[in-house]
Structure 1
Amino acid sequence: MRPLDFDYMLSILPVLLKYLPLTMGMASISMLLALGLSCLVAIIRVLQIPILNSLSKVFISFFRGTPLLVQLFLFYYGLPQIFTSLTALDGVSAAIIGLTLHFSAYMAESIRAAILGVDRSQWEAARSIGMSEGQMMRRIILPQAARVAAPTLVNYFIDLIKSTSLAFTLGVTELMGATQKEAAGSFLYFESFILVALIYWVIVEILSHIQKVLEQRLGKAVAR
């Protein structure tokens, strides 16, 4: 059994960290887009808007029922064969689209549950003063639902960051892609992958701490 090459791990750490902004950038953009889309889908499901409600059910069923890797391949390799205008789609854009649609399907159900968890008296009070459905959602329901859904959404962001590691299958040199290249060049696979695992671990621990602080503050706000 050979000892770990710590010198090698320290030497490639700065190399890997150079790709961390791309990983976090893809995750952040995907999260923002997914949040907007999931809110829209959740509202459609709650209000049961004809036709759109049925389409949203199919959307959620498909993106929750198929593997993320298959979806990424579908967007990057499959769709350009049908729509020639998509041949210019690069790996980063395809990864962001895939991550956005995949996680928005999951987040939509969490947001829908949070919306439905708002006390019915709030809905009735809003309607009694003549608010439209849009005004009621924007001013009364969504702010209250956001407090309930926030910790869960942080969990999704954590999962999303880890899922960006699949982008290297599309030729994207992000954190995981850079690790794969370093490992292939040095043949020190264990050192390379244990190092990238530690990097992901640190990121997740930081976000988990933020989540705990957020839960505590929201709990105090609700207690008031």
Structure 2
Amino acid sequence: MGCSIFALICGLAFIFLALHPVCGDVSYSIPEEMKRGSVIGNIVKDLGLDVGRLSARKARIDTEDNNVQYCSINLNTGDLIVQERIDREGLCAKKASCVVKQELVLENPLELHRVSIRVQDINDNSPQFKEETLKFEIRESAYKGASFLLDEAHDGDIGENAVQGYSLLQNEHFKLNVKTKGGGRKYGELVLDKELDREDKKEIMLLLTAFDGGSPQRSGTVVIHVTVLDANDNVTSVQPGRL
């Protein structure tokens, strides 16, 4: 009886192991937009597997949840290579962490190894404004120091590769005040530094530049079109002898 119970337990243990292959995890960190065919790492060496048996065990890379298969394995070397373009912004948008999940599958016996690929941001996007031109109508009676909120520039990248500041092309009437929102986002205010005179200048064209902190640095520009509105600041003269 004891031997029968022991044999039954051993049989159940064998079935359990057969249905639940031994799993090991491996992780890599790579920059986005690596060229197809680039080597991520030698997954066989990192997992301690036998490169000579990869073909016999039908080694392959599968995806979790039927997502895109971004990687493949070189059966001769055991290298994990880039198979599809990995665009961090398309995958994770503004999330601080971006991880692609893949799986290494081997047969005879069946093994499953989870592969986590952390995708790092590169500076592949330039700051952009929503509009090609920002238009303002300002009365010539506006006081020195009056401020006007400017549209924020947006950048698909994160961290230092996102928008870090703004600059305004030097001009006679306006200066720029750069402020920070919650989360570190930057925006600008146009500040009147010298009073306007419509009789002298009816329209003013300015150039605003947004720049990021990447290397090499990227930037984007927008034209600011200021229309000076009239104020009743001129007294009509009356000639002598006339009412």
TM over 0.5: same fold?
no
Q: TM-score, normalised by structure 2?
A: 0.22
Relative contact order, higher structure (CA 8 A, sep 6+): 1
Question: Which protein is bigger by CA-based radius of gyration?
Answer: 2
Q: TM-score, normalised by structure 1?
A: 0.24
